[in-house]
Amino acid sequence: MTTIQSRRSRQIGLKTILIVLAVVSLAPYLFMVVTSLKTNQQFADSFWQISFPPHFENYSVAWNQVAPYLFNTAIVAGISIVLILVIASISGFVLARYRFGGKRVIFGAVLVLMMVPGLANLIPLFILMKNLGLLNTYIVLVVPYTAGGVVLGTILIRNFVEGIPQAIFDAARIDGAGGARLYRSIMLPLSLPVLGTIALLTVSEVWNDFFWPLLVISDNSLRTVSVGLQFFQGQNVTDYGPLMAGYLIASLPLVLLFTFLSKYFLAGVQGGVPGAH
C-alpha cells in the first residue's frame, strides 16, 4: 500500500507541475486573445479581465494590415518546402541506398555544413545577392531557406531511409523496379512522416526568421510576417486591440499546424517505419 500511495503521490505531483507549466505557457497567449477584443479604454480599466462588449472589429483592422505579410510568407514557405523536399529526398535516398566512391566524404561534408553558423554566411551571402540584383525579390528569401533546409533535410531523410528494411527494396528490385521506381513507389510513401517534419521545420523557420528578411527586403509589399509585424506594431503602438489581434492572426497558422500535425512531427523526429518491426 505504501508503494502504491507513493507512486500515486508522485503522479499527482508530476501532473500538478505539468498543469502549472501549461498555464504559465498559455498565459501570454490567453492575455493576447483577451486584449485583442478590447478598446484602449477597456484595456486601461480592466487589464486582465474580459471586457464587454467585445470589439471583433479589431480583427478586421488587423487583418487588412497583416494579410499581405502572411501572403508573402506563405509564398516563400511554399516554394522553399517544395525545393527542399525534392532535393533532400533525392540526395537522402541516394546516400542511404546506393554505394559509390566518396559517399562517406559527401555525407561528412553535409554534416560539416550543419556546424557552420548562419552568421558566418551572412555578409558573403548578402554581397552575392546584391551583386546578382536579387534584393527585394522572393528569390533572395527562398535561396537561403532552401540551402539551409536541404542540409538538415538530407540528414533526416538519409537516417530515416536507412531504417527501412533492405528486404523491401530487394523485393522490388527482383520484380524489376529501377532506382526511380524505388524512390517514387517505396521511399516516398514510407518517408511521409519525415517529409512532414521537414515541411513543418521549414514553415517555422520562414515564419520566425527576422534578421535576413529585414536585411534584404526594403519593399513593404514583399515583407514577411516577422518583419511586417514590427512595422505593424509601429503603426498601432497606442492601439492595443488591433495590435494584439494582428499578433494573434500571425501566430495562428503555426499554432494550427503544430496542433494537428504534431504526431507526424514526432514520428519523423523519432524515425522508424510503421510495421517495420
The answer to whether residues 56 and 37 touch, using CB atoms and an 8 Å cutoff, is yes
The per-residue b/e assignment along 181-192, b for 16 or more CB within 10 angstroms, e otherwise, is: ebbeebbeebbe
Which residue, 218, 91, 206, is CA-closest to 145?
206
The answer to whether residues 37 and 61 touch, using CB atoms and an 8 Å cutoff, is no
pLDDT for res 268: 56
pTM: 0.83
In three-state form (DSSP H/G/I as H, E/B as E, the rest C), the secondary structure along 87-105 is HHHHHHHHHHHCCCCCHHH
pLDDT for res 237: 64
C-alpha dihedral sign at 12, 256, 90, 138: negative
Peptide bond between residue 242 and the one before it cis (omega within 30 degrees of 0) = no
Map out the domains of the chain as residue ranges. Answer: 2-35, 58-270
pLDDT for res 276: 45
Please identify which residue in the block is written with the cell numbers 538538415.
152
Q: What percent of the chain has pLDDT over 70?
A: 90
pLDDT for res 277: 41
pLDDT for res 145: 93
pLDDT for res 267: 60
CATH of the domain spanning 58-270, picked from 1.10.4160.10, 1.10.3720.10, 2.60.40.10, 3.30.70.2660: 1.10.3720.10
Under-50 pLDDT residues of the chain: 1, 272-277
Q: Which amino acid is at 77?
A: A
DSSP H or E segment with residue 232: helix 225-235
Rounded-to-5 percentages of helix, strand, coil across the chain: 80, 0, 20
Q: What grid cell was written down for 122?
A: 551572412
